[in-house]
Amino acid sequence: MYSVPKLKSFSEAALDKAVEKLLATLKTESKAVKNEEDWKAFRDRWMARKNGVLTQINDLWLKASPKDSKRDVGQRVNEIKAKVTEVVEGRQIKGISRAAVDSLEFRDSVRAEVTQRLDITLPGIRRPLGAEHPVIKTMHEIVSVFRNLGYSVQEGPVIETDYYNFEALNFPPNHPARDTQDTLFIARQESKPQRERLLLRTHTSPVQIRTMEKMKPPIRIVIPGVVHRNDPPDASHSPMFHQIEGLAVDTNITFCDLKGTLDHAMKALFGSSVKTSFRPSFFPFTEPSAEMLVSCFICGGSGKRNSEPCRPCKQTGWIEILGCGMVDPNVYAFVDYDPRKVSGFAFGMGADRIAILKYGVDDIQLFFNGDVRFLEQFG
Ligand code: DAH
């Protein structure tokens, strides 16, 4: 039986001879492989870490070689390793007939055959199923409630101009109402006229204007989207969050339509037993404006949960859920609508806040820091 010889000389001729002998042995031994057991023994003889032929040539040829032959020897050892691996792997194929393997013996096609073969006995690769993000899921739910009422969906840019985010929504330049929205401005816009300066939209309301510019009444739209404000992150604030806006403009739309629509939407979202309530508020683009509250669907409006104070409603039994109002006639002037002929209502709500309430999450940051262990609970 062949054993790796110690080399007396490292001359090219001596190396050629030794390599030739080794490869001839590889070929003969490979041909003798008849079944899986043979193959395992063959593999171990050549490739076992401890005392396999490859390990031996490493020790007896490469390590023992004088400095000036190391490169040459190293290269040959690498070639031998590649060939041995190829032959050993080639013999492993079970379905190919021995004659076919023999005839292909040292050919690359054997290797290709090996790698392309599908071994259905191997364990599968687990591909974890993705799930909708809880905030996106909530947004889809809200949108679908309004879709069922005949609303369509509009979207607009996240980087917005001062004009659409403020001016056309009846926030005049320098008006204190702008201070209610801690705005993130894009740098180096000072050379532009104020209305063209860019900012990250602070709400989805600018899409009301963009839609009314391109469509005539009747309008029934909802606008889901991302907004930004200069709020430091904490359990209830995030500089990036989500809103859903709504707008209905037509002839003879009244505050009754607003109340009926939103009351229906809240029942569809939180269950038919929730009650709604409105209290006066202010937004520059609606007149009158209101805040809508829903009876707390966590404590059922009692302000207490298991005799503990109910946190989400701060024991009041009511939760502020959105801002709304009748579209201010000044806004129609920006979009060439005639306020004597049309009227409408608008509303806007925070999707993240609604998701927090729906799922009983106590920190908004959990939605955005991408921990799969948190997110997969919603799958
Ligand atoms: N854009 C307002 C905000 O982000 C929310 C809002 C209030 C939207 C009243 C409306 C509305 O359309 O009518 O604070």
How many A from CA of 324 to the centre of ligand 1? 6
**For atom 8 of ligand 1, which residue has the closest CA?**
348
How much of the chain, in percent, has pLDDT values that exceed 90? 62
pLDDT at 94: 53
Query: Which pLDDT band, with edges at 50, 70 and 90, does 206 fall under?
Result: very high
Could you give the 3-state DSSP secondary structure of residue 170?
A: coil
Contact 375, 283 (CB under 8 A): no
Most confident of 95-99, 362-366, 372-376: 362-366
Burial class (CB in 10 A: 0-12, 13-18, 19+), 96: middle
State the pLDDT at residue 349: 98
Cis amide linkage into residue 288, ω under 30° from 0: yes
For a ligand 1 pocket test, name from 241, 245, 247 the mutation site with the most ligand atoms within 8 angstroms of its C-beta.
Answer: 245
* Residues 280-327 pLDDT 10s: 999 999 999 999 999 998 898 999 988 899 988 999 999 999 999 999
Count CB-CB contacts under 10 A for residue 216: 11
* Shortest-distance atom of ligand 1 to CA 208: 12
Which atom of ligand 1 is closest in space to residue 345's alpha carbon?
13
Between 123 and 261, residue with greater pLDDT: 261
Instruction: Report the nearest-CA residue for atom 12 of ligand 1.
Output: 347
Q: Any residues with Cβ below 6 Å from ligand 1, and which?
A: 203, 205, 245, 283, 286, 323-325, 346-348
Distance CA 15, CA 315 (A): 89
Average pLDDT on 348-367 reads: 95
Contacts of 228 (CB under 8 A, 6+ apart): 158, 184, 200, 201, 202, 239, 240, 241
pLDDT in tens, 89-112: 877 755 455 555 555 554 556 666
CA distance 39 to 41: 5
Per-residue pLDDT at 360 exceeds 70: yes
For 319, residues 6+ apart whose C-beta sits below 8 A from its C-beta are 293, 294, 295, 296, 297, 312, 313, 357
What pLDDT was estimated at residue 165?
Answer: 98
> Can you list the alpha helix ranges (DSSP code H) found in the chain?
12-31, 36-47, 53-57, 70-92, 98-104, 108-116, 134-147, 162-165, 206-214, 255-270, 329-334, 351-359, 365-368, 372-375
Residue 119 has pLDDT above 60, yes or no: yes
Position 106 scores a pLDDT of 47
Averaged pLDDT of the chain: 91
Q: CA angle, 201 as apex, 178 and 352 as ends, to 5°? A: 105
Inter-helix orientation angle 134-147/351-359, to 10°: 110
Residue pointed to by tokens 């013999």: 91
Query: Region 156-171: what's the mean pLDDT?
Result: 98
In terms of C-beta distances under 8 Å and separation of at least 24 residues, what long-range contacts does 364-370 make, across chains too? 364/233, 364/235, 364/236, 364/237, 364/238, 364/241, 365/233, 365/234, 365/235, 365/238, 367/133, 367/134, 367/135, 367/238, 368/238, 368/240
Higher-confidence position of 83 and 209 = 209
In one letter, which amino acid is 258? Answer: L
List all residues 6 or more positions away from 46 whose beta carbon is below 8 Å from its beta carbon: 26, 29, 52, 53, 54, 84, 88
pLDDT digits (tens, 9 = 90+) for 34-76: 877 888 888 889 998 888 988 988 888 989 888 888 888 888 8
pLDDT above 90 for 149: yes
What dihedral do alpha carbons 293, 230, 359, 222 form, nearest 10°? 60
Top-confidence residue, 280 or 114: 280
Distance from C-alpha of 269 to C-alpha of 142, rounded to nearest angstrom: 7
Which pair of structure tokens corresponds to residue 153?
A: 């969906």
Please tell me which residue, 221 or 52, carries the higher pLDDT value: 221
